[in-house]
Amino acid sequence: MGPTEALATFAVGLDGSCLPPSVVDGARRHIIDCLGVALAGSVDEGGRIIAAQARSQGGTPESTIWGDGGRVGAQNAALANGTAAHLLDYDDTNYGMPGHPSAPILPAVMAVGERLGASGAQVLAAFAVGFEIEGKLGKFSGQDSFDKGWHTTKTLGVIGAAAAAGRLMGLDVRAMRRALGIAVAQAGGVRQNFGSQTKPVHVGQAAASGILAAELAARGFTASEEAIEGRFGFWEMFGGPVNGDGDALAAALGRPFDFDTSQVSIKALPCCGSAHASVQAALQVSGGLSADDVESVMVDVPYTAPLVLIHHRPTEPLAAKFSLEYCVAAALLDGGVTLRHFTPEAVMRPELQALLRKVEHRVPDEWQKGAGPWRIGCARVEVTLKDGTIRRGASTFRKGDKENPLTEDDLTAKFLDCAGLALGDAGARRLLEMIRGFERLPDVRRLGYLLSLSRQGRGTAVEGASSVQGG
């Protein structure tokens, strides 16, 4: 079996009614997380811009722009919601891709699910399919694509989104292979855009392009049916496979699902995941410090961190999320890194700007490429104070990783903090109650009503939520 056929067969053939309870639970947790951070992103300047763009394109009002209330065509809704989901870089991660698994997939399946009136169980199964396909394809593709500069959340996410959307649309294996081929044709996105509003647009494009790929394939549009393994296919163009064996890929899909592995993580901090370990290490030594107390800060990181944390003197919030210096300085000064640290005023605080200039990093020999074993969760921080005192902290696992997971209380608090920015506390709590029973929803359009709540119009939307058939 070739790799493209293996992915298509899995996408079409998975029995959604037989998903292990741990997978259903994992999918639901990642849905809760993704919807929460997307709602927070929807009220950001970039979220408002992309929502306005989606509304300007119109189309049949079939899918909700989350937090905005507009209803547009499925592709435009996926573009806006996928962008919002990744805008704050607070969404989940998957070491195996490496990248962000939910933001390209959930907006695609929710948009299609609303259009079709699909049940929560159907949408959850499609979400699990897309999540698994992008993760395992990433694992079999290796790290080189990311290291070279491709934004793997898009290059892999568009393939997962096409598979997930195509499953909801009822594609057969042959059509699904074509959908994957069309999706590969739309893969792209470069890491030079990290720290700008264009990085999350990559993800919105992945969600929208995945729907387009599935729709074209459903209409009989042709594409290579060997788009992954072909001579000029995905693996050749985007870094090459670790293992090009389609039978091995087929055997890996769902055995186990990535939800059940240590590969996936739900973020505890609203910044690039490559900064989390350094922040955690800095928090161990942060008590009572001011910028004037500190002589220097040295941070040891794996080789992947400098590839991503490319902004060393940030002056804007999105750039600060991709700045090791800023995130470590914020942790040392304030004893935490929160959404409130990523505003223009917070980033330009004189004391914080002064301290971040004292932060340097290095990659020790044991964390160079190929030296392993190491993890993205590894970091060491050494703070030298002006009185000669040295404080040291270290991290092995990030908060949110399987070895140090977010508790249910942690996830609830994160969701309410994020969703409350768009919906208010009461609206966020009503939405969370519904998502906790996601797989039991008879029609995901019920969820769409609550996701369209704004602080100004939530009364009308709540009244409408009970009017959907089956609600």
pLDDT tops 50 at residue 471: no
Euclidean distance between CA atoms 177 and 8, whole angstroms: 6
Beta strands 359-362; 294-300: pairing state: parallel
Q: What per-residue confidence (pLDDT) applies to 288?
A: 82
With cut-offs at 50, 70 and 90, classify the pLDDT of residue 147.
confident
Average pLDDT on 281-303 reads 93
Euclidean distance between CA atoms 471 and 198, whole angstroms: 38
Q: What per-residue confidence (pLDDT) applies to 373?
A: 53
pLDDT tops 80 at residue 193: yes
With cut-offs at 50, 70 and 90, classify the pLDDT of residue 370.
confident
Region of residue 265 (left: phi > 0; alpha: psi -120 to 50; beta: else): beta
Within 10 angstroms of residue 184's Cβ, the number of other Cβ atoms is 24
Q: What per-residue confidence (pLDDT) applies to 372?
A: 62
Euclidean distance between CA atoms 8 and 322, whole angstroms: 35
Give the chain's domains with CATH numbers: 3-265 (1.10.4100.10), 273-395 (3.30.1330.120)
Average pLDDT on 184-196 reads 90
pLDDT tops 60 at residue 80: yes
Q: What per-residue confidence (pLDDT) applies to 469?
A: 30
pLDDT tops 90 at residue 261: no
- Over the chain, what is the mean pLDDT? 91
Q: What per-residue confidence (pLDDT) applies to 461?
A: 27
Cis check: omega of the bond before 256, within 30 degrees of 0: yes
- Residue located via tokens 């505890």: 268
151 Cβ contact list (under 8 Å, min separation 6): 99, 188, 189, 190, 191, 193, 194, 199, 202
More confident residue, 270 or 461: 270
pLDDT tops 80 at residue 458: no
pLDDT tops 70 at residue 343: yes
Region of residue 254 (left: phi > 0; alpha: psi -120 to 50; beta: else): left
Average pLDDT on 354-373 reads 87
With cut-offs at 50, 70 and 90, classify the pLDDT of residue 63.
very high
Asked which of 17-21, 59-63, 141-145, 228-232 is least confident by mean pLDDT, the reply is: 141-145
Euclidean distance between CA atoms 86 and 335, whole angstroms: 25
Q: What per-residue confidence (pLDDT) applies to 356?
A: 96
Residue range 154-168, pLDDT digits in tens: 999 999 999 999 999
